[in-house]
A and B are shown apart, each in its own frame.
Chain A
Amino acid sequence: MHIAVCLCQVPDTASVIDFFEGALDLSRVNGVMNPFDEYALEEAVRIKERFEGSQVTLFCIAPSSAKEMLRKALAMGGDRALLFSTTEPADTFQTAGMLSRAITDYYGEVLPDLVFCGKHSTDFQSAQVPLMLAELLGMESVSAIIKLEASRAGIHVEREIEGGIESLELHYPALFSVEKGLNVPRKTTIKAVMEARKKPIDLLPVTLSESSCVTITSIKPFVREKKCRVVQDPKELVLLLTHAEALF
């Protein structure tokens, strides 16, 4: 099976998001693999291990510094990584467009059997790129899956909805965005890290041909205005919630 995984980089959650003279300053931020993409990659590698002769190819649109992150992804079981650093997309639609061209350029006429993405990136949480990409590629797709059973004939997946679960059935080629809970990503071993050094990371160009759909007009620091009142005991708390706040 040919499996593509789309990876992106996000600020490490321990990093401080700074503002300098009112503008967002990400210079002190450490980039890591988007946590949801780890689940996506893990699922791809598990399928590769089940279906002999499978190939997992990583697609990443990011600055060239993302190489380090891709090394880790290769150590987790990717076979080859493609990094597209020439143009920076301005919104989700441009990202999806660039990924769709990167994928069709690489695989040619025949689409990969499976494409995996994270549910969303933890920095912007838009959750738009995966299914936009599926739509552009003309693939069947499901978002935010928590369970996947793949056979040669087709695929069964489950996704969480408010208060329940939906079970879906679909065919190859298919694209999935992946929710936490689908699997537990493996830890990389020293041996895997060594082997990953020999795997290729290709720096490739990709064209930007669509205009953006959404612009970010401002990013401002979020100032919490809350003032915390310390209450003495549960009795006082209930009184405040029921009377002052009139919640009940």
Chain B
Amino acid sequence: MSRTFDTSSPTTTSTDEAKIHYLFQLADNALIMGQRLCEWTGVAPELEIDLALCNIALDHLGQANAWYEYLVEIYPQATDVDQLAFCRDEHQYYNITLVELPNGDFAQTIAKMALFSIFNYYLHDALRQCSDARIAAIAARSYKEIQYHRRYASNWLLRLGDGTDISHERMQKALDIVWDHAFEAFTPSPADHIMHQQGIAPDLEQIKALWEDEVHQLLHKATLSIPDTGFTGYRAKSDGVHTEHMGYLLAEMQYMQRRYPNLQW
């Protein structure tokens, strides 16, 4: 059986297709977030941070794995987890662009992690109570981990924002760099929309309100200002149109599966 991956069209019409697309959104967010965090291994500012970032990366890879396993069960085109994780083309990944942005310095990684994990926290809080038992179960397990990611990133954001002049400046700059990409989380994809109608996914407007509340308070406490919002039209999670960074990330991540297709590892 071919392990390359074909999808006719990313436009979702039926409920089944919407659910599959929605699961890809969740899985790909976790996978790409985890992949980026792996890059920190061995070069973090101190050994304790190394350990924590490994731990958080591992949580994300585990979450991705759980979502892909579910996809393998319900998606006729899927053969196994690794086909889904490694054998798709760039436009078939539906993560939000925020998670694929480069790590940058530690401040930028923290900015990404804070904005993402606060969103992820409210999203999973809603999903763990949703009507789809399987989604609820995976979300409930992930929720506990995401609580920790949110706390870890928020604590560092506070320390860096309100630490020294240098760290303050770096933290502010980092937020400016990643800020616009966060809003993609709240722009409903067709799948978000249908899943919300089905009573599974939450209303992203509500999640956005919770997110803004928390992020604004956090930035205020960290003596940081809210960046100006620029382009908010990123929609990789809807149609797989990514930033320029994604191709390099995939080239690295998919190297083995591309170079040696159809083998066991």
Instruction: Report if A and B associate in a common complex.
Output: no
Which residues of A come within 8 Å of B, CB atoms?
none
